[in-house]
Structure 1
Amino acid sequence: MDVAAMLGRRIWGAGSGAVAPDGQFNLLRWFSLVSLVIIGTVAIGIGTVSTRFLVSESLERDAMLSAQFIQTLALGEMRHHGLEGMEMGDVLVPHHYGMLTHSTAQSRERARSEFLDHLSHVPDSLLATIFSPDRTVIWSTNPDLVGQRIEDDDALDEAFQSGGRISAEYQDVEEGRVKQKFLRPPKMFFIENYIPLTDADGEVKAMVEIYKEPVDLIDRVNRGYRMIWLATAIGGLLMYFGLYWIVRRASLLLAAQQAQLVANSTYVGLGEMSSAVAHSLRNPLASIRSSAELAQEMDGPQVRKCVDDIITQVDRMSAWVRDLLLCLRPLQGDSEQVDPMEVVHTTLGNFDHQLSKSAIEVEFSDIATPRVVSHQLLLAQVLNSVVANAIEAMPNGGRLSVTATPDTSGEWLHLTIKDTGKGMSRQQEMMAFKSFYTTKQGGLGIGLIMVKQIMERFGGKASLTSRENEGTSVCLSFKVAEHAA
């Protein structure tokens, strides 16, 4: 285990520009911070622009409707009283009265009176005022304003100079402003509308100024505010978490690929080293065994015992070398459709003598299962390793159960091999699939790592659960062949 870790660190640091894991750029952390700032800024900007657009459009729409109402009302009054050809602006401004017949004068006065009466009852109105071209108040719902001349009012001057264009402003009450002497104070904000009354040549004869507190419009704007900001917040959060999920998946995938790259580099270096050691040991081991076999034919019990020990140790060393080379060489064999129950049956048959000798009871139901993606010989190697470990865990007998369970989707087949042996501690369970980790005396610790490599080679998975004094359960998950195709 120490050799593998040392070799892995050496290979990791050998590349040009290699960085230790603690000093690596944390993609997920920086993305979460930067994307949160960018998406938050964009969302706030969109929300601000949208709400301003909502208010602007609402005010313009309200001003246009108010102007249409006032201008239509003025035109209707003129027609109603038989004053076609005249303009309401001339009727409203007193000094425009000329030499008229008594009947025409009365009609003009009635038209003016009725128009002003309608104007004073405009819904949601706080104050209605009519200005002459010289900025003098000729009529107002607040009588105290009548006759006053308004000086230095940029908004009023701009309205007269606009040539008949309707204007609207979103305002708050300004202290000391003469025009804003309302009959009742506004509850929130108000809208100031300038509605020109022009003659046939487009010249402004009078300017109607209406301060309105449109309660319905305010409610609609507030609902629009809430909907815009809610939609912006939800959209921003969905975008953030969607991108975060994608980058997180990418980050995990990159981390896994990086870890796999380091592991592959480690195994390549370890394989080269082990191959050199193995080839160097083979010939001496062969000579030792040959000499021991010759000495075995000599007389004397002590000689024979020593020779037997030499042969036993040589056989053990040979087995180590064989297993080490088998573990480190690349897996050979293309995937094929395999009947797992057939391989399980063959494997248990091969261990029949050892199972009987160890007084181990086997529970195995040879049921029909779908064919899986694997390799016949490599699957046999996997099962041989798992069953051998189970037998070694039950030296005093026990029960070995083998069950096959398809999952509900039908895409996977789970083969569980469970023993009632001594089990493992939590730490041993976590280290079970680590290279060269073993709890057996004289073992190399490569059996389960081979199982894991072979299963993953064909798209499967291997997992292990264990409890001390209760036993160990190994689960082999295979892809069902018909779904994999």
Structure 2
Amino acid sequence: MNAASSWTLHLPFRVLKPAAALGQFNLLRWFSIISFMIIGAVAIGLGSLSTRFLMNESLERDALLSAQFIQAVAIGEIRHHDLSGMQMGDILTSTAFGMLKEETLHNRARARLEFLDHLAHLPDSLLATIYSPDRVVLWSTNPVLIGRKIFGDQALEAAFSSRGRVSAKYTEVQKGRIEQQFMQAPRAFFIENYIPLNDRHGNVLAMVEIYKESMDLIERVNRGFRLIWMATALGGLAIYFGLFWIVWRASKLLASQQDQLVANKTYGGLVEMSTAVAHRMRNPLASIRTSAELALGTAGQPAGKNIADIVNQVDRMSSWVRDLLLCLRPLRGEAEPVDLVGAVHATLSSFEQPLALAKIQVAFDATPMPLVVSHQLLLAQVLNSVIANAIEAMPEGGRLAIDTSLSADGRQVQLCIHDTGKGLTRQQEMLAFKSIYTTRQGGLGIGLIMVRQIMERFGGEVSLSSREQGGTRVCLYFKVSG
């Protein structure tokens, strides 16, 4: 590249996509929506099942403990009052037993009173009731219910027919249930337990109904609910964001690979077409220039100025063709250790006259650096392009600062070239290294394309930062040799 080069920005070849591609399936968007709905539904389902299981198990456990307690109290009263051979169901009913001693009758009455007293003082009890087999209330903590017969109570019928305990949960008092006449209104949900008192043959002699509002149980159940829903929500979110991250990365990778594939195909076609066109233009341009020069040499030629313009424009087009062929030509050269500081000195020496004419002061920090991985001729081409661009950016003079540094791990050398020219706009800076575009009128704009290709060929990198009226800074990063 020569000193007339300018800072170049590279706008990528625009590929026209088929109409079908414009409305293509958006994997990330649909995955985020559908996966959120599925994971949300599964999480809600698991949370509901878990809370229902916890509630049912808690109720079953409470009913079992209540039944065991009442049955144990019944057995204890019978033994305490020496009523062997009797069942608590017999004692609670008004069944008459013949030939009972006075003492036995007295013990029977005491056992009944003490058992009922235990029921009346059960903790967390809202209402305790005892039914005879014909569904008549034998006793209740609510005296209003004593002697009443209950009809159509499905839970009571189920308890009598199953001969086992039955439990149910309610959130509010049902007005249709005659027996739900509590002495105090429940504050939260309450539990109904039916506990049968059977004879030796399993027949139900009496049915104990207990309504309980166990605040300790309610608190434990609510705490369990909170933990279950919190764990379910956190687990669902963790799964969702984990899958979303994986699909997001995959979507980005697929899009990048697709763009790269399209770019490679497009670039290959453009290289082939551009090479063919460039080669075929060279001969016609040479013929035009030769004819123009012959015409210009003819004495008394009235169109001399026009012919001279033809020669200049042909030379300009020929320069474009040479630059284009240079850009499209595969890079050749094996990696080798190169003295970066020496290469910079050599390049500055070759630009000594242009720098002096442009009134540009050069400040080069020539700190010794280890050898870098590059190619002598290709590195010279990189430095020539960057420095030529810097000179072009400072037509009224300025300062060119060049400094080198070694990375902390000693594996990379950084070379930065900073000019005090007019700089680039934010949009121009964002387009850097991406397209065939130049800020200089009449330029082809392949300078930084070549710089990037050469640097990446040898495992290096290039970056550009600029500010309007604040100059441009290009940094080249080289791998340390060996």
Q: Is the pair's TM-score, using the shorter chain for normalization, greater than 0.5?
A: yes
For 1:407 and 1:398, the matched residues in 2 are separated by: 29
Counterpart in the other structure of 2:215: 215
Long gaps (5+) in structure 1: none
Evaluate the alpha carbon distance shift between residue 99 and residue 431 of structure 1 in structure 2; reply closer, same or farther with a 3 A threshold.
same
Shift of 1:85: 4.1
Contact 2:131–2:206 (8 Å) recurs in 1: yes
Shift of 1:93: 1.9
Counterpart in the other structure of 2:31: 31
Residue deviations 1:419-443, cap 9 Å, x none?
1012123343333434221121321
Counterpart in the other structure of 1:170: 169
Shift of 1:252: 2.6
Taking the TM superposition and a 5 Å limit, the aligned residue runs for 1:353-364 are 353-364=353-364
Counterpart in the other structure of 1:467: 467
Kindly provide the amino acid, as one letter, of the partner of residue 158 in structure 1.
Answer: A
Counterpart in the other structure of 1:252: 252
For 1:481 and 1:179, the matched residues in 2 are separated by: 94
Task: Specify which of 9, 15, 23 is matched with residue 8 of structure 1.
Answer: 15
For 1:142 and 1:184, the matched residues in 2 are separated by: 11
Contact 1:192–1:211 (8 Å) recurs in 2: yes
Evaluate the alpha carbon distance shift between residue 289 and residue 238 of structure 1 in structure 2; reply closer, same or farther with a 3 A threshold.
same
For 1:390 and 1:103, the matched residues in 2 are separated by: 123
TM (normalized to structure 1)? 0.83
- Partner SS, residue 147 of structure 2: coil
Contact 1:295–1:303 (8 Å) recurs in 2: no
Evaluate the alpha carbon distance shift between residue 337 and residue 169 of structure 1 in structure 2; reply closer, same or farther with a 3 A threshold.
farther
Counterpart in the other structure of 1:19: 20
Counterpart in the other structure of 2:391: 391
Shift of 1:183: 0.9
Contact 1:432–1:438 (8 Å) recurs in 2: no
Contact 2:12–2:434 (8 Å) recurs in 1: no
Out of 166-175 and 78-87, give the one that drifted further.
78-87
Shift of 1:414: 5.0
Counterpart in the other structure of 2:72: 72
More RCO (CA 8 Å, sep 6+)? 2
Contact 2:155–2:166 (8 Å) recurs in 1: no
Shift of 1:143: 1.4
Out of 411-420 and 60-69, give the one that drifted further.
411-420
Shift of 1:267: 1.9
For 1:428 and 1:183, the matched residues in 2 are separated by: 84
Contact 1:8–1:265 (8 Å) recurs in 2: no
Counterpart in the other structure of 1:128: 128
Counterpart in the other structure of 1:161: 161
Evaluate the alpha carbon distance shift between residue 411 and residue 139 of structure 1 in structure 2; reply closer, same or farther with a 3 A threshold.
farther
Kindly provide the amino acid, as one letter, of the partner of residue 274 in structure 1.
Answer: S
Which structure shows the higher helix fraction? 1
Evaluate the alpha carbon distance shift between residue 363 and residue 58 of structure 1 in structure 2; reply closer, same or farther with a 3 A threshold.
farther
- Partner SS, residue 392 of structure 1: helix
For 2:433 and 2:229, the matched residues in 1 are separated by: 52
Evaluate the alpha carbon distance shift between residue 82 and residue 372 of structure 1 in structure 2; reply closer, same or farther with a 3 A threshold.
farther
For 2:121 and 2:334, the matched residues in 1 are separated by: 91
Evaluate the alpha carbon distance shift between residue 30 and residue 441 of structure 1 in structure 2; reply closer, same or farther with a 3 A threshold.
same
- Partner SS, residue 176 of structure 1: coil
- Identity across the alignment (%): 63
Kindly provide the amino acid, as one letter, of the partner of residue 243 in structure 1.
Answer: L
Evaluate the alpha carbon distance shift between residue 458 and residue 255 of structure 1 in structure 2; reply closer, same or farther with a 3 A threshold.
farther
For 1:240 and 1:33, the matched residues in 2 are separated by: 10
Evaluate the alpha carbon distance shift between residue 466 and residue 138 of structure 1 in structure 2; reply closer, same or farther with a 3 A threshold.
same
Contact 2:370–2:480 (8 Å) recurs in 1: yes
Q: How many residues align?
A: 471
For 1:67 and 1:333, the matched residues in 2 are separated by: 93
For 1:412 and 1:224, the matched residues in 2 are separated by: 58
Contact 2:71–2:197 (8 Å) recurs in 1: yes
Shift of 1:389: 0.8
Evaluate the alpha carbon distance shift between residue 259 and residue 239 of structure 1 in structure 2; reply closer, same or farther with a 3 A threshold.
same
Kindly provide the amino acid, as one letter, of the partner of residue 429 in structure 2.
Answer: E
Out of 324-333 and 218-227, give the one that drifted further.
324-333
For 1:343 and 1:67, the matched residues in 2 are separated by: 97
Shift of 1:329: 3.5
TM (normalized to structure 2)? 0.84
Long gaps (5+) in structure 2: 1-7
Residue deviations 1:46-102, cap 9 Å, x none?
222222112111111111111121112222222222334432222222215443222
Out of 401-410 and 248-257, give the one that drifted further.
401-410
Evaluate the alpha carbon distance shift between residue 121 and residue 405 of structure 1 in structure 2; reply closer, same or farther with a 3 A threshold.
farther
Evaluate the alpha carbon distance shift between residue 149 and residue 435 of structure 1 in structure 2; reply closer, same or farther with a 3 A threshold.
same
Shift of 1:112: 1.8
Contact 1:90–1:97 (8 Å) recurs in 2: no
Residue deviations 1:320-356, cap 9 Å, x none?
2232122223455677777755654554454444434
Out of 354-363 and 406-415, give the one that drifted further.
406-415
Shift of 1:147: 1.7
Taking the TM superposition and a 5 Å limit, the aligned residue runs for 1:331-346 are 331=331, 343-346=343-346
Out of 206-215 and 266-275, give the one that drifted further.
266-275
- Partner SS, residue 95 of structure 1: coil
Taking the TM superposition and a 5 Å limit, the aligned residue runs for 1:266-277 are 266-277=266-277
Residue deviations 1:209-237, cap 9 Å, x none?
10001111112222222222222222222
Correspondence 1:99 to 2:99: yes
For 1:167 and 1:372, the matched residues in 2 are separated by: 86
- Partner SS, residue 151 of structure 2: coil
- Partner SS, residue 176 of structure 2: coil
Evaluate the alpha carbon distance shift between residue 374 and residue 168 of structure 1 in structure 2; reply closer, same or farther with a 3 A threshold.
farther
Kindly provide the amino acid, as one letter, of the partner of residue 391 in structure 2.
Answer: I
Shift of 1:377: 5.1
For 1:455 and 1:210, the matched residues in 2 are separated by: 86
- Partner SS, residue 196 of structure 1: strand
Correspondence 1:140 to 2:140: yes
Counterpart in the other structure of 2:440: 440
For 2:57 and 2:371, the matched residues in 1 are separated by: 68
Counterpart in the other structure of 1:205: 205
For 1:217 and 1:409, the matched residues in 2 are separated by: 63
Shift of 1:260: 2.6
For 1:286 and 1:106, the matched residues in 2 are separated by: 138
Evaluate the alpha carbon distance shift between residue 56 and residue 480 of structure 1 in structure 2; reply closer, same or farther with a 3 A threshold.
farther
Shift of 1:108: 2.2
For 1:423 and 1:341, the matched residues in 2 are separated by: 26
